[in-house]
Amino acid sequence: MNYELPPYPTQFIDVWRLRDGQRVTVRPILPQDAQPSQQFVRALSQRSRHRRFHAAVNELTPAMLERLTRVDHVRHLALVAERVEQHGTVLVGEARFVCADDPRRAEFAIAVADDWQGLGMGRRLLEALLHAAAARGVRHLAGDVMRDNRPMLALAVRLGFSFGSPPAEPGLVRVTIDPLAACADSDRTADQAAPGGRPRPTGFATGAAGRVVEKSIHLPGHSMFAAMTWISSFTGLAWPRSR
């Protein structure tokens, strides 16, 4: 089957230093991430898979893998956090949004590998997804969260999500946010927190200290990119589902 790869959004590539000092590369997903994505889902604990898919999912079907890795980066955008190890690339986190008929409305999903939970990656992925959604013109981002997923619900409160009417499925809570408004609020907070009132670099989020460090990274099949390390005190974990 012929498949024309859409333009790759290099502006969403980043390198993060996590709370324990480890670095991960965050980038938009690629079709060749199908096998790493399968391994990522298989390695999740049963609880994490259930929180992500709201169903008894042990692995992804070929159709699901195709749908989740061959995206247009506009109406369906997915960010993955990866580590390059001796035996290849390992995905340790994923966040995505998918628009339906209205490109201004989307649903999101996010998951973090169990061994990488507690390092602030969940919040950073969701923050990055909000910025990507705002850049794509999404004004209404929604997700269904399990009622017992207290870390996600607490994170939704901290990031300014609203809690709407529960969906038809029992045991779920719907959280919504306007990405553009949320990013504007975040930008104002970062600017106010920057030492001496210095403005932060446009297009990147910073932590309370407003520190940004430039790094050089390389992705297979791509040129060298200048990336920005996003240093912050983000906390929290999240596993809403995707459609």
Place of tokens 């050089």: 216
Distance, in Å, from the CA atom of 105 to the CA atom of 81, rounded to the nearest integer, reads: 24
Give the CATH number, domain containing residue 86: 3.40.630.30
The pTM is what? Answer: 0.77
Backbone angle region of 139, left / alpha / beta, with phi > 0 → left and psi within -120 to 50 → alpha = alpha
235 within domain boundaries:
no
- When divided into structural domains, the chain yields a total of 1
5 within domain boundaries:
no
6 within domain boundaries:
no
Domain that holds residue 94: 11-230
238 within domain boundaries:
no
151 within domain boundaries:
yes
Mean pLDDT of 214-239: 29
Per residue in 17-60, pLDDT (tens digit) is 999 999 999 999 999 999 999 999 999 999 999 999 999 999 99
Which residues are 79's β-sheet partners? 28, 95
Collapsed DSSP state (helix, strand, coil) of residue 149:
coil
Distance, in Å, from the CA atom of 181 to the CA atom of 16, rounded to the nearest integer, reads: 24
Per residue in 55-112, pLDDT (tens digit) is 999 999 999 999 999 999 999 999 999 998 888 889 999 999 999 999 999 999 999 9
Least confident of 111-115, 129-133, 138-142, 207-211: 207-211
237 within domain boundaries:
no
Closest CA to 179 of 126, 243, 117: 126
